[in-house]
């Protein structure tokens, strides 16, 4: 990789906004031990974004970007939705293609990068909402697990199609009234974390983003395991405070509450994944 990718053209340096300059001068690169503890002192690859004030998804993005062990060689593939509003503000190679095909696009990218650069570590991370991951894109998501693609899939579960104005999704709870479910949703929330295990993921975690340090550990484990073993899946609760009628400062409390119920921390580690995680711990990277 070339760090030059992340450098601003010298001739434009003086006219660039401080936000962008910070991405170059205060971001952390080349250090696999980087993490959320660097957040107060550094700029974590994301500038101002256009998500709603207090949106837990923006917290999630900041923690994830701070936790990437290898940002200089990480490609992020995303999908249409609230997350795609953020990607223009991230200082990484990102790809937005269509709605729901993110795991298929990521499969192509990962396989070709592995073939073109057999001696380099290139991490491919998929980052999309519940609609893209579990509804329209479920086929592509699960099939990438079946094929054992070495990619990390992160689902931002806000239990709703938020960006299109609040329609129920496969991850909405049963009975919840949302647009397009005017009588309340008729069936249960899809247990995506279980489907991921059954479909061949080697590391699966379900959690909220109320604890930054825990997000960091989970993301690092997921990426290290994907790099060496096979697909990994992280399910994060990032409530859409707008659609469930909460104030901007209520997101954290909402997540802390759900920590104790349907988003209680859950982790699955396959045998080959355990070996990788233990080794990374010994190396001081986890």
Partner 1 sequence: MQTSTERVIYNRAGQRVVSPDYLLFEAPRTKHFMTGSEAVKEAVKRASVDASVSYPITPQSEAAHLIGELWVEGYVGVYFRGESEFGVMSEVAGCALAGARTITTTSGPGTLRAFENFPMWAGTRIPVQLVLMARGVNAPLSIQPDNLEVGFLLDTGCMIWYAENAQDLFDMILAGFVVAEQPSVHVPVVTVVDGFFVSHTREAVMLPPDDIALPPYNPYKAPMPVIDAEVPPGRFLRDPFVMKSNYISYATHASWQWEVRSAIERSRPFAKHYLRGLIEEFGDPSAELVFVACGTAAAQSKEAVRLLEEEGIKARVIKLKTIRPFPIEELRQAVKGAKYIFVPEFNVVGWLEREVRRYLYAYSDAEVIGAPRVAGGMTMPAEVIVKEVLKLTGKEVKHVI
Residues forming contacts to partner 1 in the complex (CB under 8 A) are: 1-2, 4-8, 23, 72-75, 77, 84-85, 87-88, 91-98, 101, 104-113, 115-117, 122, 139-140, 143, 147
Q: Which two tokens stand for residue 276?
A: 């990788």
Considering the complex, what minimum distance in angstroms separates the CB of residue 147 from partner 1? Answer: 7
Tell me if residue 267 falls in helix, strand or coil.
strand
Residues 263 and 127: their CA atoms lie apart, in Å, by: 19
Residues 66 and 44: their CA atoms lie apart, in Å, by: 5
Considering the complex, what minimum distance in angstroms separates the CB of residue 261 from partner 1? Answer: 34
Residues 7 and 88: their CA atoms lie apart, in Å, by: 16
Considering the complex, what minimum distance in angstroms separates the CB of residue 150 from partner 1? Answer: 13
Considering the complex, what minimum distance in angstroms separates the CB of residue 83 from partner 1? Answer: 12
Contact 150, 230 (CB under 8 A): yes
Contact 67, 216 (CB under 8 A): yes
Whichever of 107 and 217 has its CB closer to partner 1, that residue is 107
Does the CA dihedral 230-231-237-239 come out positive or negative?
A: positive
Whichever of 231 and 239 has its CB closer to partner 1, that residue is 231
Reference 52, options 263, 270, 249, 248; nearest CA is: 248
Whichever of 92 and 229 has its CB closer to partner 1, that residue is 92
Whichever of 105 and 160 has its CB closer to partner 1, that residue is 105
Considering the complex, what minimum distance in angstroms separates the CB of residue 233 from partner 1? Answer: 17
Phi, psi of 126 (to 5 degrees): -100, 135
Whichever of 140 and 207 has its CB closer to partner 1, that residue is 140
Q: What CA–CA distances, in Å, run from 35 to 67, 155, 209? A: 5, 20, 15
Considering the complex, what minimum distance in angstroms separates the CB of residue 6 from partner 1? Answer: 6
Whichever of 52 and 255 has its CB closer to partner 1, that residue is 52
């Amino acid at each position: 990789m070339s760090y030059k990718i992340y450098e601003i053209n010298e001739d434009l340096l003086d006219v660039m906004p401080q936000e962008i300059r910070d991405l170059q001068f205060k971001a952390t690169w080349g250090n696999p031990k980087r993490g959320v503890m660097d957040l107060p002192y550094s700029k974590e690859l994301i500038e101002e974004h256009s998500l709603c004030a207090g949106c837990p998804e923006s917290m999630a993005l900041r923690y994830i970007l701070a936790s990437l062990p290898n940002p200089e060689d990480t490609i992020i593939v995303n999908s249409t939705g609230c997350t795609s509003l953020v990607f223009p503000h991230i200082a990484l190679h990102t790809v937005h293609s269509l709605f729901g095909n993110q795991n298929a696009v990521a499969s192509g990218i990962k396989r070709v990068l592995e073939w073109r650069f057999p001696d380099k570590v290139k991490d491919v991370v998929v980052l999309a909402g519940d609609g893209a991951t579990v509804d329209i894109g479920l086929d592509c998501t699960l099939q990438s697990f079946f094929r054992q693609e070495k990619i990390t899939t992160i689902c931002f579960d806000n239990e709703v199609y938020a960006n299109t104005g609040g329609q129920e999704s496969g991850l909405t709870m049963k009975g919840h009234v949302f647009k397009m479910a005017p009588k309340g949703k008729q069936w249960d929330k899809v247990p995506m974390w279980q489907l991921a295990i059954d479909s061949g993921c080697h590391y699966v975690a379900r959690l909220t983003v109320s604890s930054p340090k825990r997000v960091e550990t989970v993301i690092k484990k997921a990426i290290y395991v994907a790099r060496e073993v096979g697909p990994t899946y992280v399910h994060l609760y990032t409530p859409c405070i707008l659609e469930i009628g909460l104030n901007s400062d209520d997101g954290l409390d909402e997540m802390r509450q759900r920590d104790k119920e349907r988003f209680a921390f859950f982790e699955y580690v396959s045998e080959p994944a355990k070996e990788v995680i233990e080794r990374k711990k010994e190396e001081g990277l986890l």
